[in-house]
Structure formats: structure tokens, C-alpha cells
Chain A
């Protein structure tokens, strides 16, 4: 049973940078799956942010592409998200998930999510 856990600051200042890490505590991070970030806001529902392969290849949501970067550290079984120039619109619950890239991007295991609030 794969287990994922998000970690990072719950508060970020406007125009600042949101940084989150997802740790895969059970299961492998290097067995061919991709790893995704998804966020959820009351007004917009679930929004796919981007994904990363253990080899480092990334795909980003075009609406966020200019502000996001993702990285992965397979030795630590962690992958990370950075979102720059945040505004109140980036306030959301952020989930990390395991992605089945070749199965219409099925997200079969999710972390519990972490609430990030953009506020001064």
C-alpha cells in the first residue's frame, strides 16, 4: 500500500514562494510511475498542477507553467513543488499523488493533503 505525505508551510505571504514536499513513505518512487501535484479550491474544484518522472522529466499545467517548478530526489523518496509569486487565488489544499501515466493519468494513491493559505 503506497503512502504519501505532504509537508511544508501552511502560510505563505503574497508574492512569496510556496514550497511543498511529498514523501513516499511506503512503496518505491522509482518503479515507473509518475508523481503528481493536485490542488483543490472551493471555487475551482480539483486542478492538476503538474507531474514528474523519477528521471526528472516534468509536465506542468499551462496556466501555472510560468510560476511552477518540480523536482525529485529518489534517494530520499521525495518530490517537491515550488510555486512563485503566489496570490490569494493560490490558497488551496495541495495533494500529492501517484500517477499512472499510461492509464489516462489515473491518480491511484493520494496524500492526505495540506492546506496552504496565502495571507499577509
Chain B
């Protein structure tokens, strides 16, 4: 059971948008720790998509955006493209557990 909770799967048609939620607690997001989002294409390593809750590394399209409020965080993807089909993970630090924690991952299907 992950310290961060994500929906197992989401889907959307090309051009549409989707939101992936990540629910934490008072010991991670609620304690002020940021959320990071990773995209993982099967067979490859996770890649940073959003860091510091809302910042995009260079090279990540602005179709991807992140936010955090209270004990929850969200990743929004607009203008879905076939290449966005992948697994998405949220990650933060938990002050009570004293280690980095991940969500269980969300598989995005582009219909």
C-alpha cells in the first residue's frame, strides 16, 4: 500500500485532456513537501515530468502542468497525443516515514 494514492488508470482521446490525482497526507504534502511527477514508458527508466509541484524541466511540453494544494496534488495533461501513453508516478518525501515515497502509478491510455 503506497503512501501516495493514485488512480490505477485514466484514459482520453487524442486532443482531449486528463487529470491524474495524487492523494497524500499531513506527513508529506500537508507538511509542505513538494510533489514530483515522473513519466515512464514501458521498458525505460522514469523521467522527470514535473518537479517542485509545478515546474517543468526543459524539453517537457507545456501541455503538462502540475499543482499541489493541501494534501493533494494533480498532474494535468492537455492536448493528448499518442506518445503520452505511459505510466505516471507521483513522488514526495514523507516526514513521518523518513523516506521518499511514490504513488502506485497511473497508466494513461490514449484512445
Please give the residue numbers on chain A whose beta carbons come within 8 Å of chain B beta carbons, in ascending order.
Answer: 36, 45-48, 51, 59, 61-62, 95, 99, 103-108, 110-113
Contact = CB atoms under 8 A, between A and B. Distances in A.
B99 A48 contact: yes
Interface residues of B, number: 27
23 contacts: A36-B100, A46-B46, A46-B102, A48-B99, A48-B101, A59-B98, A62-B97, A103-B34, A104-B35, A104-B36, A104-B93, A104-B100, A105-B92, A105-B93, A105-B99, A105-B100, A106-B34, A106-B52, A107-B38, A110-B45, A112-B44, A112-B45, A113-B45
Contacts of A47: 102
Interface in B57-111: 57, 89, 91-93, 97-105
Nearest to A111: B45
B86 to A, nearest CB: 14
Contacts of A108: 48, 51, 57
A45 to B, nearest CB: 5
B99 A104 contact: no
Given A45-B105, A105-B91, A59 B99 contact: yes
Contacts of A104: 33-36, 52, 91-93, 100
Contacts of A110: 45-47
Contacts of A45: 2, 89, 102-105
B103 to A, nearest CB: 8
A103 B52 contact: yes
